[in-house]
Amino acid sequence: MRSKLLRILLWLPALLLGACDPGGDAGGDPFAEHELQRQRAAEQSRAMTFRPPPELASTLGIQAEDARQEIVLLQASGAQPYGTFQRQFLATLVAAQRGWKFSTHDAAGSAARQQEQWSAALAQKPAAILLDPVDAAGFAPLMAQAVQSGVVVIGLDPSLQGCTTIVHCPPQAVGATAAALAIDALKRKAADEGLAEPSGRIVQLRTDESSSWSNRVAAGFGDGLRKASSAILVHDAPTDSNADQAVQRLGEAFRIQKQFDIIFCHSDAVAAGAARFADSQGIRENTLIIGVDGIPGRGAGLQLLRDGEIDATIARPPLVDLALRIAVKLRADPGFKPQPAYELAPLAVTPRNHAEVSRRGSYKLPEL
């Protein structure tokens, strides 16, 4: 079945796979510009006015002063590939932006720790804070004070309230995109087999059981699957974002179910673990594996798809590029009024459009 489903994925309609067409302007695509940004950063660093190191400044009696504006990234959990990519990508972008500097804090899933990091960041009087919250509700009473003090606060989660603006990719849309991909593949498989209605047994592997983001992805996936009554979710389990946990959870499912058609994983790393399990049980050729993240880099989702380890991935656009552009424009243009929120859509990436996405990226930034 896998070979049949893969053929289906190769010919899925452009409407489904191009729902978030990045367009032809590579200048708006962060993936295509990644190396160029690094080169610009190096050139600008060489062109910067000399600032003596602190030790030399102290010896010479010079008061060192860094006039650059600071942007702070507060991450709910930066250890996973998507979080790591966001952090590294923002560091690259800020390095190429004259007059700005960057710092980051990782709450590692602790709401209390993140609020401490928030207070520490505000004490430094940054120009902007990008907030990926552990607990969005906990920031409601804190947001007004920060914004009123002149700090630009850009939320990276739609559930935040009171921010200067929000840049987000709806988790429900990630799940719905995966469901649409799964159902379309099952429909075409049913047509090939002469069946009137698509049917399939589906397993879902979440990240952390307590993750609000993962729960919302699951909600979108469940809503999408209900559009095909014979597409049945037979197992749903958390994995702590761990490939080894994915193997364990699938072992539990396999003892009960013995067969499933599609495995939807909330990260590409978990999907790689699912593929390893399917190989070990001799069911890989009959199982379609979909991951989430779709980021570039060694061992990341786009490479896993290119190498055939997974069959599809739902690409999440990095939010920090647009967030930085908004922060810079707000500081440079007093008349600029950002929208209350900017929504970036996910994109299903399959063998059919993998090369294009790798070259041009998975989305296009809006005009500001």
Q: 45-49, 169-173, 196-200: which range is least confident on average?
A: 45-49
Of the candidates 124, 125, 81, 56, which has an alpha carbon nearest to the alpha carbon of residue 266? 81
- φ/ψ of residue 232, rounded to 5: -110, 130
pLDDT one-digit tens code per residue, 174-201 = 999 999 999 999 998 888 888 888 889 9
pLDDT of residue 46: 44
- Statement: residue 119 has pLDDT above 80: yes
Taking the whole predicted model, whether its pTM rises above 0.85 is answered as no
pLDDT of residue 197: 83
- pLDDT band, residue 16 (cuts 50/70/90): very low
How far, in Å, CA of 172 to CA of 180, rounded?
A: 12
- Statement: residue 14 has pLDDT above 60: no
Each residue of 217-237: b (16+ CB within 10 Å) or e? bbebbbebbeebeebebebbb
Instruction: Say if CB 308 and CB 275 are below 8 A apart.
Output: no
Collect all residues with Cβ–Cβ distance below 8 Å to 126 and sequence separation of at least 6.
Answer: 69, 70, 71, 72, 103, 151
pLDDT of residue 188: 87
pLDDT one-digit tens code per residue, 246-277 = 999 999 999 988 888 999 999 999 999 999 99
Say what the alpha-carbon torsion angle 245, 246, 249, 250 is, to the nearest 10 degrees: -150
Instruction: Say if CB 165 and CB 136 are below 8 A apart.
Output: no
Average pLDDT of the chain to the nearest whole number: 85
- pLDDT band, residue 48 (cuts 50/70/90): very low
- Look-up of token digits 């397993």: 203
Of residues 53 and 335, more confidence is placed in 335
Of residues 94 and 27, more confidence is placed in 94
Q: 12-16, 253-257, 269-273, 303-307: which range is least confident on average?
A: 12-16
Instruction: Say if CB 322 and CB 167 are below 8 A apart.
Output: yes
- Statement: residue 84 has pLDDT above 80: yes
Helices 243-257, 268-280: crossing angle, 10 deg rounding? 50
Instruction: Say if CB 85 and CB 143 are below 8 A apart.
Output: no
Instruction: Say if CB 212 and CB 255 are below 8 A apart.
Output: no
- Statement: residue 26 has pLDDT above 50: no
- Statement: residue 36 has pLDDT above 80: no
- Statement: residue 330 has pLDDT above 50: yes
- Identify the burial level of 149 via C-beta atoms within 10 angstroms of its C-beta, where 0-12 means exposed, 13-18 middle and 19 or more buried: exposed
Q: Which domains are delineated in the chain?
A: 2-15+171-315 (3.40.50.2300), 26-45+69-169+319-344 (3.40.50.2300)
For residue 13, give both structure tokens: 């309609």
Return contacts of 42-51, CB within 8 angstroms, 24+ apart: 44/95, 44/96, 44/98, 45/95, 48/98
- Statement: residue 35 has pLDDT above 70: no
For residue 29, give both structure tokens: 């695509």
How far, in Å, CA of 123 to CA of 113, rounded?
A: 16
Q: 41-55, 182-196, 226-240: which range is least confident on average?
A: 41-55
